[in-house]
Amino acid sequence: MKKFTTPAAAAHDVTVVGIDLAKNVFAIHGIDASGKPCLVRPNVRRDQLLDLLAQLRPCLIGMEACSGAHHLARTLVQFGHTPKLMAPKFVAPYRLQGSRGKNDANDAAAICEAVTRPNMRFVPVKTVDAQVTLTVHRVRSGFVEERTATINRLRGLMSEFGVVLPLKASTVRRQARAACESLPTWVQRVVEDLLGHVTALDQRIDEYDTHIKQIAATDDASKKLMQLAGIGPVTATALAASVGNGHDFKNGRQLAAWLGLVPGMHGSGGKTRLGRITKAGDHYLRSLLVMGARSLLALAASRGDALSRWALTLQARVGYGKAVVALAAKNARLAWAVLAKGDKFKPIT
């Protein structure tokens, strides 16, 4: 492998670097203390990237949060650099040529500019264990989506022959096998294959659920989160892996806003209006918290604790849907307090 060489002066002067990540060819844009570009490399191969960055003195390196960014960030820490990850939507406004001038070199320059902004919001670099946990969650979520799609495909195909099945998955499994006897032979074969695929997915999802429970049982942060009502092993491990110790958020409301559980604000002329929830951020975490809130609200009448009484009062005032979202947002705030404050946090019962 041929080493990548860069002038000694450039390696010494660089203070901030922006990297436009890609699969094989990367773009590098480095500036000195005065903001003048001193290291511009629009085409750096993957096998040359680390060699180039290792020659630089410790500096601030900005990247967009995407596939492979967390692994590269952990590697750069070993070189003494300070990597910072940003959401791509926060980088786009700093591209000087706008959307018409989008290319790898301009993206690297925009990243280099954005990472120096004092009010920029950064994505925390995940540890290897956190990425392993989220990989398990991602694959499990894919199996669940595939199972839902297979059941819907089964319902749609059988409806073509006059067999209309209900939405409930367990009822579809039972009634589809009984109803396929009156269908043509090849349709019976299709129904049996689809039902067999659903059964295989059920078994695989159960295996991943067992693995997630094992992760939750050995992780201190997950065990603390599971003490909160409406948060089980799946939600707890996903939150702990995604949020870490919660120190990247100033308070619980910032975490709730990052998850898209707060209303959008529209203000002009001194008048402020609150709209629907933003649904920004991590869709998977938000859906887990909302499902947990639905379960908690269903059992609120029998629980009788302070949180359940508050939820029932809120439901009576604003309705079921808003109460569920408000309860999910409250759980997000409580989760931040558990992760950020640790044993100092004592929930009110």
- Residue 57 DSSP label: P
User: Quick one: tokens of 232?
Assistant: 């089980």
Give the per-residue pLDDT at 228: 92
- Which uninterrupted H or E stretch holds 277? strand 271-277
pLDDT tens-digit readout, 228-262: 999 999 999 999 999 988 888 889 999 999 999 98
CB–CB of 21/63 below 8 Å?
A: yes
Give the per-residue pLDDT at 233: 96
pLDDT tens-digit readout, 7-55: 555 566 899 999 999 999 999 999 999 999 999 999 999 999 999 999 9
CB–CB of 147/68 below 8 Å?
A: no
Give the per-residue pLDDT at 173: 87
Residue 40's closest CA among 133, 108, 98?
108
Give the per-residue pLDDT at 64: 95
- Cβ contacts of 153 within 8 Å, gap of 6 or more: 194
Amino acid symbol at 206: D
Question: 1 falls in which pLDDT band (50, 70, 90)?
Answer: very low
Give the per-residue pLDDT at 177: 85
Question: 275 falls in which pLDDT band (50, 70, 90)?
Answer: confident
pLDDT tens-digit readout, 188-209: 999 999 999 999 999 999 999 9
Q: What percent of the chain has pLDDT over 70?
A: 95
Interstrand relation of 122-123 and 271-277 (parallel, antiparallel or unpaired): unpaired
Higher pLDDT, 96 or 49: 49
